[in-house]
Amino acid sequence: MRSSIRALPILSIFIASAAHAGFLSNYASWEKQDRYGQYMYVQGLFDAQDSNGAVGEESWVTARRQGLSTCFIEQSLTAPLLADAVTKHYQANVGDWVLPPSVVFQEVAGRVCLSYINTERAKANLAAWGQRDGAILTKSKQ
């Protein structure tokens, strides 16, 4: 019992950190994180998408998940590299500052790993996706 009581303060630190990192809503909240917070955030995003294959998921989802997983391993993409890619995307695309880092991460990862994703799409008899560059959000012409 006594050891459980001692563990509570330590456990509460980890729970608070994880909860805080889970609700980043835009570039400002991303920038408030220290480097290690950013690394943990992108690692968590990768782990969630990599291990969330479900029976009956859409074939395009499976192809994307498998392509990203293969790409990350073969290209040795680490949490620091991925966090830097998210930061660089935000810095280059001011209009995307309103997007959560989870959206930016998914877009950046998809762009970096497009050839791997398209290899998996071909195996599933799906058409290849085209390359996208620049901002995720684009201004509509008026």
DSSP 95: G
Q: What is the pLDDT of residues 110-125, one digit of tens each?
A: 999 999 999 999 999 9
Highest mean pLDDT among 10-14, 85-89, 138-142: 85-89
Q: Where do the domains of the chain lie? A: 2-123
Distance CA 68, CA 101 (A): 17
Model-level pTM?
0.80
Q: What is the pLDDT of residues 20-52, one digit of tens each?
A: 445 899 999 999 999 999 999 999 999 988 876
pLDDT of residue 71 exceeding 90: yes
Mean pLDDT of 46-68: 87
Confidence at residue 51, expressed as pLDDT on a 0 to 100 scale = 77
Environment class of 141 (CB within 10 Å of its CB; exposed 0-12, middle 13-18, buried 19+): exposed
